[in-house]
Structure 1
């Protein structure tokens, strides 16, 4: 693997990870969806665990992450600094493996997915499909650089599902009041993008230079003040949720009873 690519993910999260839990608060609706996929599992490895969002409360969880800053905010006791491509677990060590909004950061996606299958009997992966339309308005109107960055790092959903030999793919429309502050959360709350603290909790914004981000945010601020943004997107305020291509992929052993 490319050493610089290997170092990139922990470097990003070591930079943006301070105070991460204040913005990235687990949403109970997504938590419930992932919980159903993990039902019956007594032991779980959370790969790319970060601060522990969406982990089941009725299972023993091993948190794996390459960033010590992120692991330092994880509340659990079983925490391991490691990469998805080399999980320090024996074959079939746990009932289930989970990976939430992390596979796009793995330098070797397919090796990481093979590791999930090796160490667990069930896999639940939550990710975004770059082939899905519509995209968030932010990309077309203010920051097309985000599209370039995200399409370079996200793998088509069909490829991930095939690599896992998935049996279930569940859409997750994003609620308008989604509490987990990753980029898509603010599709109906554009003023939130004006807050640098909120932007700092997004790995996408963290990887774009200020010379790109700041003029775009200035244009958004002006459109919000003039009412231009609201006029263009008035229809969004009639919706409680939007499908922007986020999916839960489930593979291996089927979930047991809740």
Structure 2
């Protein structure tokens, strides 16, 4: 969790819950009953945990980073646990639903994490993972053009979505549904591709500091990317090549939901 110990200091400034993403998670958890118990795996500072706790769910927020935990807001409906997805200190068949938002690429052992998630989930209940597959991003997009090094690193690190689906199916012995999520242009959770329609955001250090693949870049590399982008925005090069994207309402940057029901 060295990465999140680094970026966690400013995390809450830019990474806020996006209610559309949270609502898709809730819809696919298919909650039924009262006093339902949910697990947020890789909860960060608790933005999505707080969304669900505000709706009356009892949330357990699992997070390994001390920096993130130190900034977490606490309330009676959230129980915080310092720990990893590969070793969840909770009894079997405990949760009515499990979710994870843009955290699974940081798991050290994805198969073990899926096994642990499934172990703590009640039978016939659902888990939802929101994740990204950078290999799905068009190499003709402006983000790939300027941040090719970021995509190359991510493609080598992230599991592609079909392999992820197969891994869950074999580990949990169940069917997995994938939901595509083309990004709207007004996300409130400012993860990497959230500024797809606002290129100047990638010159903002506060925005950069809350995004792990950008905050992890060597300073010189990031400076060169930003210098090129800033110059191209000023001289019209960016607009001439990519200005048509400003007419779009959504952009597919490979973000997907994976949903499964424990047998």
Same fold (TM over 0.5): yes
User: What residue ranges of structure 1 are gaps of 5+ in the alignment?
Assistant: 1-9
Task: Please tell me whether the aligned partners of residues 63 and 78 of structure 1 are also in contact (alpha carbons under 8 angstroms).
Answer: yes
SS state at 1:96 partner: strand
Structure 2: how far apart are the matches of 1:174 and 1:216?
A: 23
SS state at 2:90 partner: coil
Task: Please tell me whether the aligned partners of residues 34 and 54 of structure 1 are also in contact (alpha carbons under 8 angstroms).
Answer: no
Structure 2 partner of 1:123: 127
Structure 1 partner of 2:244: 235
Is it true that 1:179 corresponds to 2:184 in the alignment?
Answer: no
Task: Please tell me whether the aligned partners of residues 133 and 155 of structure 2 are also in contact (alpha carbons under 8 angstroms).
Answer: no
Shift of 1:236: 0.7
Shift of 1:253: 4.9
Structure 1 partner of 2:30: 39
Structure 2 partner of 1:109: 110
Structure 2 partner of 1:161: 165
SS state at 2:129 partner: strand
SS state at 2:62 partner: strand
User: What residue ranges of structure 2 are gaps of 5+ in the alignment?
Assistant: 170-174
The count of aligned residue pairs is 244
Structure 2: how far apart are the matches of 1:14 and 1:63?
A: 17
Using the size of structure 2 for normalisation, the TM-score is: 0.88
> Which of the residues 20, 24, 35 maps onto 1:29?
20
Structure 1: how far apart are the matches of 2:98 and 2:25?
A: 11
Structure 2 partner of 1:52: 46
SS state at 1:177 partner: coil
Task: Please tell me whether the aligned partners of residues 134 and 253 of structure 2 are also in contact (alpha carbons under 8 angstroms).
Answer: no
1:154-186 C-alpha deviation (Å, 9 max, x unpaired): 101112222222432111110111111111001
Structure 2: how far apart are the matches of 1:152 and 1:107?
A: 14
1:14-52 C-alpha deviation (Å, 9 max, x unpaired): 111112111011112112111212231611111100122
Using the TM superposition, name which of 215-224 and 47-56 deviates more: 47-56
1:101-140 C-alpha deviation (Å, 9 max, x unpaired): 0110111111111111111132100001233132552222
Structure 1: how far apart are the matches of 2:253 and 2:7?
A: 24
Structure 1: how far apart are the matches of 2:87 and 2:252?
A: 33
Structure 2 partner of 1:70: 68
Using the size of structure 1 for normalisation, the TM-score is: 0.89
